[in-house]
Amino acid sequence: MVAVFWVLALTAVVSGFAVFRLSSMAQVTFALLASFLAVAGLVVLLGLGYLGVVLALMMVMEMVVMVVFMIMYMMNPAGLMPMAMYHNKPGAMTISVTTFVVLAAGVLLVDWPDRAGEPPPDPTFALGLSLMSGQMLTMMTLGVTLFATIVATVVLATGRGRYERLGDGLDAPTAADPTGGGVGR
Amino acid sequence: MILQLFLLTAAGLFAIGLYGALSQQSIVMLMMGLELMLNGVLLAAAALWYFLAPAGTDGQVLIVVVITAMAVEMAAGFAVATAIYRARQVDMTDGAADLKG
């Protein structure tokens, strides 16, 4: 168990760091995926099998989607040239190292309380029961948030709707299309 | 396996993600940094649940919330990237500095 922890923890941190060091976008994406899978493994190691597997599945899908966006937007998807896309690198490094030192100091200096209670025999069952009773409000908020995200992403990603074509009042005499076409135009 | 080691790993992931989010120019890489930060939060929540309060389910619910936040962040981030790229072919944060004070 301890050996598994060290392997997963080092994989998570090292591949997380590699995300900002590698020069190919494909390698970067898979480094990030390796980091996520290592964290999912750590979550499984802590006895949360369901959440760990959900995390792993979700991250695999998310990274596959990310690859598509990489190819759409990145100037250097194949990594044939080294990437240097930084701004204020020393400042960012200072801030993040300071953050880590502060967090680590907190982790090591705080007198953590003793473990209270034992994990339930089936943590997944307990989670489901909790989400459907005491934490129902959390679950409903998450559901509404996800729905709002669906609406917002579709609105943002839609190129041109009727409002762009016919003006805010929908009263323009002709549609402002970049190219002609359609009936009678 | 002790709590502190898990939390140190989580702190490392959070700090690396913060570095990426602050230093990367590409919007997609910036979002990778944000994802790494959330990853650290998630690991810390799991460790705190297991080592401090395993009897309750609050830690697990927090993990569910963080996973949802990761999904929302990714979807909304890519939608914004798509919108700004479509409007003015910007895919770097430095190209979208209109609100810079």
Task: Give the highest mean pLDDT range of A16-25, A110-119, A160-169, B40-49.
Answer: B40-49
End-to-end alpha carbon distance in chain A: 71
CA-nearest of A38, A54, A53, A46 to A6 is: A38
Nearest chain B Cα distance for residue A72, angstroms:
10
B45-77 residue pLDDT tens: 999 999 998 888 889 999 999 999 999 998 898
Alpha carbon distance B66, A25 (integer Å):
25
Q: Of B32, B90, B91, which to mutate for an interface test with A (greatest number of A Cβ within 10 Å)?
A: B32
Contacts of B85 in chain A (CB under 8 A): 73
Higher per-residue pLDDT: B36 or A177: B36
Of B7, B68, B83, the CB nearest to A156: B83
CA-nearest of B8, B55, B17 to A5 is: B8
Interchain proximity B14–A100, CB inside 8 Å:
yes
Q: How many CB atoms are closer than 10 A to CB B64?
A: 21
pLDDT at residue A87 in the model: 79
Q: Which of residues 9-68 of B touch A (CB under 8 A)?
A: 9, 11-20, 22-29, 32-33, 35-36, 39, 42-43, 46-47, 49-57, 60-61, 63-65, 67-68
Contacts of B23 in chain A (CB under 8 A): 20, 86-89, 92-93
**Amino acid making up residue A111:** D
Contact in structure between B74 and B11 (CB atoms under 8 Å): no
Determine the residue of chain B that is closest to A31 in CA distance.
B32
Q: What is the average per-residue pLDDT within A126-146?
A: 93
Question: In the predicted model, is pLDDT for residue A98 greater than 90?
Answer: yes
Contacts of B35 in chain A (CB under 8 A): 32, 36
pTM of the model: 0.85
**Amino acid making up residue A172:** A
B5-41 residue pLDDT tens: 999 999 999 999 999 999 888 888 888 899 999 999 9
Joined tokens for residue B29: 């890489």
| ipTM, interface predicted TM-score of the complex | 0.89
B71-98 residue pLDDT tens: 999 889 888 888 888 777 777 777 777 7
Residue whose structure tokens are 């998807």: A77
Alpha carbon distance B33, B27 (integer Å):
10
* Phi, psi for B90 (deg, rounded to 5): -100, 125
DSSP structure class, residue A173: S
Is residue A106 classed exposed, middle or buried when 0-12, 13-18 and 19+ CB atoms within 10 A define those classes? exposed
Alpha carbon separation from A22 to A28, A102, B20 (Å, rounded): 6, 27, 12
